């Protein structure tokens, strides 16, 4: 849990980076969200014609060799490419000159819910068709879920705490929240943290389709992700990465950094209920939100915006709405809530990374990104979901939720300084 004692070090955000289906950098990404632009299209990374779900939020027009050393690009998985580039953006945005910093005081936590699926599938095919001697020696390093964090650490000489977190769709938020812990307990001054995912592959799609978890609205991909809508029928896979640079407030001020906001509160809980279905009473998520509020020293009516997990699945959207009502009481009907997955799709382990970037941009721009495709609201989802059109608002404190298979919950709070 986050230390909320008066002596705890305060943690601030100084850098942002993203790679998504809507934009390969923060400015393009944010402009697309505010415009209500969907990044969901028919899948092109493989032939989806025999799959129940044939659509996804692909990162298109992407050549990793344009963003990183071509040799490193060949040796690493697509998920690592995304995370490495997002981390580089975030470090550049922060103005941090890592060569002049003490590398022992810089750490990296970048997680992935699934890791190197492209490598896993391609090398299994090599094994089956060409035999074990033809399997690449880079297979294991490329597919393991901590390699993105390791590669970023090598790039910046970050010798502090370094690991990847795996907690399904809560991964990105857990990575950022746990990175804040590292700074608060004085194990680092700077942490590069977030999530990355690239699971638009045949095996991943076949597996999720067998669960009947994904939308089959293949004829209208831009409208398929419709959180809180009455006829929502499943999530849409997205891919990409979202990474933040976090620093202690003292360190950021000492180097004259531009500070976006403070990471004020964070909590992680478990439903302890079911391997895939959220707790229908919303107890685990309610506990996470309540603890995050307590750790931030924030009352429910001080939250000005909630970025919902909002996956467009029948269970999640209903149960998340219920959990928000439990925690926020009368304020639940006053606080704007939106699901940006309506535009990006669900980035699994990277979701919390890009949604944390969204929260920071919300504070910076005083603009709420909408929930698009909300044309026929579910009567059980009856909050203000910022339907279809972005909105200007006075925003000082925001909260983001993420939930993962296995019952993992994460809630994180950012506020203006």
Percent of the chain with pLDDT over 70: 98
CA distance 385 to 342: 11
Catalytic residue among 251, 295, 309, 359: 309
- Please say if the pLDDT value at position 4 is more than 80: no
Per-residue model confidence as pLDDT tens digits over 98-151: 999 999 999 999 999 999 999 999 999 999 999 999 999 999 999 999 999 999
Is 309 considered catalytic here?
A: yes
For the segment 358-371, the average pLDDT, to the nearest whole number, is: 98
Give the active site residue among 169, 217, 359, 381.
169
Name residues whose C-beta falls within 8 Å of residue 11's C-beta, 6 or more positions apart in sequence: 180, 183, 184, 246, 247, 248, 249, 262, 263
Alpha-carbon distances of 394 from 80, 226, 352, 378, 398, rounded to whole Å: 36, 26, 23, 27, 11
Instruction: Check 24, 81, 118, 346 and give the catalytic one.
Output: 346
Question: How do 261-270 and 240-248 pair as beta strands?
Answer: unpaired
Right CATH for 11-254 from 1.20.1050.10, 3.60.21.10, 3.40.50.300, 3.40.47.10: 3.40.47.10
Q: What is the pLDDT of residue 7?
A: 57
What local confidence, expressed as pLDDT, does residue 8 receive? 79
Write the DSSP symbol of residue 402.
E
81 is catalytic: no
State the Cα–Cα distance between residues 115 and 132, nearest whole angstrom. 22
Q: How confident is the model at residue 6 (pLDDT cuts 50, 70, 90)?
A: very low
Q: Is 330 exposed, middle or buried (0-12, 13-18, 19+ CB in 10 A)?
A: exposed
Using an 8 Å Cβ cutoff, are 333 and 384 in contact? yes
Residue 148 bears catalytic tag? no
Write out the residue limits of the CATH 3.40.47.10 domain(s) in the chain.
11-254, 267-415
Q: What gap in Å lies between CA 393 and CA 181, rounded to an integer?
A: 30
Which of 152-155's residues contact partners 24+ apart within 8 Å by CB, and which partners?
152/83, 152/84, 152/87, 152/108, 152/110, 152/192, 153/107, 153/108, 155/84, 155/87, 155/88
Q: Please give the Cα distance from 36 to 302 (Å, whole number).
A: 27
CA 199-116-25 angle, to 5 degrees, is: 65
- Residue that is written with structure tokens 């502090």 in the block: 160
* DSSP assignments along 54-85, one per residue: -EEB---S--GGGTS-HHHHHHS-HHHHHHHH
**pLDDT tens digit sequence for 212-271:** 999 999 999 999 999 999 999 999 999 999 999 999 999 999 999 999 999 999 999 999
Full-model pTM? 0.97
Which CATH number does the domain 267-415 belong to among 3.30.930.10, 3.90.79.10, 3.40.50.1950, 3.40.47.10? 3.40.47.10
């Amino acid at each position: 849990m986050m230390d909320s004692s008066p002596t705890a070090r305060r943690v601030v955000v100084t850098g942002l980076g993203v790679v998504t289906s809507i934009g390969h950098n923060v400015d393009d990404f944010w402009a697309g969200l505010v415009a209500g632009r969907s990044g969901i299209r028919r899948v092109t990374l493989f032939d989806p014609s025999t799959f129940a779900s044939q659509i996804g939020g692909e990162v298109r027009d992407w050549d990793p060799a344009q963003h990183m050393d071509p040799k490193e690009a060949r040796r690493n998985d697509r998920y690592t490419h995304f995370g490495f580039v997002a981390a580089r953006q975030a470090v550049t945005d922060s103005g941090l000159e890592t060569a002049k910093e003490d590398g022992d005081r810089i750490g990296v936590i970048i997680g992935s819910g699934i890791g190197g699926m492209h490598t896993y599938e391609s090398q299994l095919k090599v094994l089956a068709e060409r035999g074990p001697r033809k399997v690449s020696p880079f297979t294991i390093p490329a597919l393991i879920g901590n390699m993105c964090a390791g590669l970023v650490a090598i790039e910046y000489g970050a010798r502090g705490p370094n690991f990847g977190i795996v907690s399904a769709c809560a991964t990105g938020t857990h990575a950022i929240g746990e990175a804040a812990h590292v700074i608060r307990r004085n194990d680092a001054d700077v942490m590069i943290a977030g999530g990355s995912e690239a699971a638009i592959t045949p095996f991943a799609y076949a597996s999720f389709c067998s669960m009947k978890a994904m939308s089959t609205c293949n004829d209208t991909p831009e409208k398929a992700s419709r959180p809180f809508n009455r006829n929502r029928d499943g999530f849409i896979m997205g891919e990409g990465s979202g990474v933040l640079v976090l620093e202690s407030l003292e360190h950021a001020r000492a180097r004259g950094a531009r500070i976006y906001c403070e990471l004020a509160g964070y909590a992680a809980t478990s439903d302890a209920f079911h391997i895939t279905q959220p707790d229908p009473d919303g107890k685990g998520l309610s506990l996470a939100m309540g603890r995050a509020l307590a750790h931030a020293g924030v009352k429910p009516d001080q939250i000005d915006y909630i970025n919902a997990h909002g996956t467009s699945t029948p269970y999640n959207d209903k149960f998340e709405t219920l959990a928000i009502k439990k925690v926020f009481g009368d304020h639940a009907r006053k606080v704007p809530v939106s699901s940006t997955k309506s535009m990006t799709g669900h980035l699994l382990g990277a979701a919390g990374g890009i949604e944390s970037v969204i929260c920071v941009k919300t504070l910076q721009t005083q603009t709420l990104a909408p929930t698009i495709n909300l044309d026929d609201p579910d009567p059980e989802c009856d909050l203000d979901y910022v339907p279809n059109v972005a909105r200007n608002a006075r925003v000082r404190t925001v909260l983001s939720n993420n939930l993962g298979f296995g019952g993992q919950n994460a809630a994180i709070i950012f506020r203006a300084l």
